[in-house]
């Protein structure tokens, strides 16, 4: 029956061809003769491989291999250079070969949902045209920093994985408008998430977040999903302030950072000759009250941001957003709404 369909498609010089849901475990070799094909649907079958002969489909732009029995990305995909949309969801794939990404450099959509992928290779950076990357229901534990090189990425879906952290470089994806990271094990989001200026949808539900990063209220999202986290509560408890003696390194860093703020600072010019020191100082934070910079020692506080009032979202929920203060002397000033964080 599959062969009859191929013969009919051959006669019609078909651009699109489907063998979806035909319960087949191999592709008729005649499919390789459909050289005008742009779109091929092979989803919902029992395929465990694809014949290498399919490399004749050099015009193919869309291939759906979803819901089959593939244990690896079929090698023939290396020879289909026109592919723009690739669906491989619902298979048994554990590993992604590093060299596949260079061969698929024209992809704009890659859907690998519902597989068993543990590692996303750094070579993903080769997919320079990628706009949508979906890897829900896999076993990813880390995302490589190289993901930040996918300049055209607008949608990233990492829902239902084993992520415990995200690379800070994620905040440099210039076009990202939808970020789905629900149901992982994230304890915090990368600082600097407010730099995602195009972000419209953020789903962080079902993680282990205790608070949002510094300046989160500046993110201009239109939809935020954050239920099922371990956010600190707005509950007042007694606490003792232990005066901390700053280390010599911290004191020196604060002095250098302060001095470097002066426009004609000699130190600022000297830093250019010491990139390692400049790198270390680039991680400095700034006190939300007095603006003094600090390096490794600060007082972690939160402010409670009302989603409706402060971020113009539909929910009236208040969520904790991290605030860093330089010292207890700033914390003890009156007139601010920052709370110290206590574990009770």
Sites of contact with Zn ion (CB under 5 A):
287, 289-290, 292, 326, 330
Beta strands 285-286 and 223-225: pairing type? unpaired
Write the CB contacts of 49 (distance below 8 Å, at least 6 apart in sequence).
26, 70, 74
Query: At closest approach, how far in Å is the CB of 248 from Zn ion?
Result: 20
Distance in Å, CB of 252 to Zn ion, minimum: 18
Cβ proximity to Zn ion: between 80 and 214 the closer is 214
CA separation for the pair 249, 237 (Å, rounded): 33
> Which pair of tokens denotes residue 86?
């690739």
Paired tokens of 282:
């680039």
**Cβ at position 154, least distance to Zn ion in Å:** 38
Q: How far is the CB of 283 from Zn ion (least distance, A)?
A: 18
**Spatial distance between the Cα atoms of 23 and 66, rounded to a whole number of angstroms:** 13
CA torsion angle 252 254 257 263 (round to 10): -100
Comparing CB distances to Zn ion, the nearer of 70 and 326 is 326
Closest to Zn ion by CB, 41 vs 292, is: 292
Smallest gap from Cβ 129 to Zn ion, in A, equals 46
Instruction: State which residue, 159 or 292, has the beta carbon closest to Zn ion.
Output: 292
Neighbours of 177 (CB within 10 A): 18
Query: 114 or 254, CB closer to Zn ion?
Result: 254
In terms of phi and psi (left: phi > 0; alpha: psi -120 to 50; beta: otherwise), the region of 214 is: beta
């Amino acid at each position: 029956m599959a062969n009859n369909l191929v013969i009919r498609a051959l006669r019609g010089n078909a651009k699109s061809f489907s063998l979806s849901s035909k319960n087949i475990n191999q592709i008729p070799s005649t499919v390789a003769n459909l050289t005008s094909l742009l779109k091929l649907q092979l989803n919902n079958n029992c395929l465990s491989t694809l014949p290498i002969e399919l490399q004749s489909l050099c015009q193919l732009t869309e291939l759906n291999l979803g819901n089959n029995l593939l244990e690896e990305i079929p090698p023939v995909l290396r020879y289909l250079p026109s592919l723009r949309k690739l669906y491989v969801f619902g298979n048994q794939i554990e590993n992604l070969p590093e060299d596949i990404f260079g061969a698929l450099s024209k992809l704009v959509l890659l859907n690998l949902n519902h597989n068993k992928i543990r590692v996303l290779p750094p070579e993903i950076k080769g997919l320079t045209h990628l706009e949508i990357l979906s890897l829900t229901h896999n076993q990813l534990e880390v995302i490589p920093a190289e993901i930040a090189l996918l300049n055209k990425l607008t949608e990233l879906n990492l829902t239902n994985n084993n992520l415990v952290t995200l690379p800070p470089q994620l905040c440099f994806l210039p076009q990202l408008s939808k970020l789905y990271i629900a149901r992982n094990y994230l304890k915090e989001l990368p600082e600097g998430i407010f730099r995602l200026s195009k972000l419209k949808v953020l789903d962080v539900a079902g993680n282990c977040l205790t608070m949002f990063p510094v300046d989160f209220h500046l993110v201009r999202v239109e939809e935020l999903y954050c239920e099922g986290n371990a956010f600190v509560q707005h509950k007042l408890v007694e606490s003792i302030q232990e005066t901390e003696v700053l280390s010599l390194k911290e004191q020196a860093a604060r002095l250098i950072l302060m001095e470097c703020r002066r426009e004609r600072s000699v130190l600022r010019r000297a830093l250019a000759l010491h990139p390692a020191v400049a790198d270390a100082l680039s991680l400095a934070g700034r006190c939300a009250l007095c603006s003094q910079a600090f390096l490794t020692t600060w007082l972690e506080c939160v402010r409670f941001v009302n989603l409706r009032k402060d971020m113009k979202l539909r929910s009236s929920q208040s969520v904790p957003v991290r605030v860093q203060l330089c010292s207890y002397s700033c914390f003890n000033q009156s007139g601010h709404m920052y709370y110290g964080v206590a574990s009770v």
